[in-house]
Amino acid sequence: MRTVRALRNTWGVREYILASVKRDFVSRYLGTQLGWFWVIAQPLAMIVIYTLVFAEIMRPALPGHGGRFAYSINLCTGIIIWQLFSELVTGSVGVFVRNANLLKKVSLPKFALPITLALTGLTNLALVGVLFLMFLAVIGAWPGAYVLAVVPVVVIVVAFALGLGVLLGTINVFYRDVEHTTAIALNFWFWLTPIVYPARTLPDWLSSLLAWNPMWPLVHFAQTAMLEREFLSPGQLVYPAVLAAALLALGLAAFRALSADMLDEL
């Protein structure tokens, strides 16, 4: 019941949440001298750099693909999915501590803060995604309907990141080392996920071991849709989806149990 009440209270401040997302977007981009230029420039720079470095300079081989931009498409897809996950986890872990003054002075549901982070992350994803799709159209690699395969991946990534982030963020209020530990763990986690390297290049034993990484099937599902233009079996998303649901439930339970004590520690 307390969880339902917390979610209902969060819904009650939806206007504040949307205003916060808008304010973050304006301060990050439109509040600068060049305004909308930065909205396009930052994600476009990422796509151009990865394409120039890997497609034109390093030209790494991608097994089964001889296309000029195959590796860049594979890499950019993985990076975009990972950035959403990393941004939400990193932001959620420290969100209660960073907003301690706000929580103490304003009667604001604490869960509104990670929800705001999630909407901000999805806004950034939409901007990068649109530019990436434009890039694919220009180079003749438009994925068509296969782009829809990314939708369930994004939903699971957001649920997984929020569950993990809220759980760690709640613990971080009491043990501040959690935020620093998470940042280091995410660096290792990135390299344990087939983003920079293709999964098929790994030995079978290592591939079987790393398959327990929930980000592995999520990234692979999106990469296959965008590069191979193929829908993989939805069964490949069952493991990360179940884990995301479990973490979300655990994060909410921890948040609910310790919420009353959090203000005393902030």
Quickly list DSSP for 92-128: HHHHHHHTHHHHHHS---TTHHHHHHHHHHHHHHHHH
Q: How far apart (Å, rounded) are the C-alpha atoms in residues 256 and 1?
A: 10
The model's pTM: 0.88
Contact present, 252 and 3 (Cβ < 8 Å): yes
Q: How far apart (Å, rounded) are the C-alpha atoms in residues 85 and 215?
A: 9
Count how many domains the chain has. 1
Q: How far apart (Å, rounded) are the C-alpha atoms in residues 57 and 40?
A: 24
pLDDT at 57: 65
Domain residue limits at 256: 2-265
Q: How far apart (Å, rounded) are the C-alpha atoms in residues 154 and 84?
A: 8
pLDDT at 110: 76
pLDDT at 249: 92
pLDDT at 225: 94
Q: Left (φ > 0), alpha (ψ -120 to 50) or beta: where does 35 sit?
A: left
pLDDT at 128: 87
Task: Find tokens 């939805």 and name the residue.
Answer: 234
Q: How far apart (Å, rounded) are the C-alpha atoms in residues 43 and 51?
A: 12
How does pLDDT run along the chain (266 residues), one tens digit per residue?
555 666 666 666 677 788 878 777 777 666 666 655 666 677 777 777 877 777 666 666 676 776 778 888 888 899 999 999 999 999 999 988 888 887 776 667 777 888 889 998 998 899 889 889 998 999 899 999 999 999 999 999 999 999 999 999 999 999 989 999 999 999 999 999 988 888 777 888 888 888 899 999 999 999 999 988 999 999 999 999 999 999 999 998 888 888 778 777 76
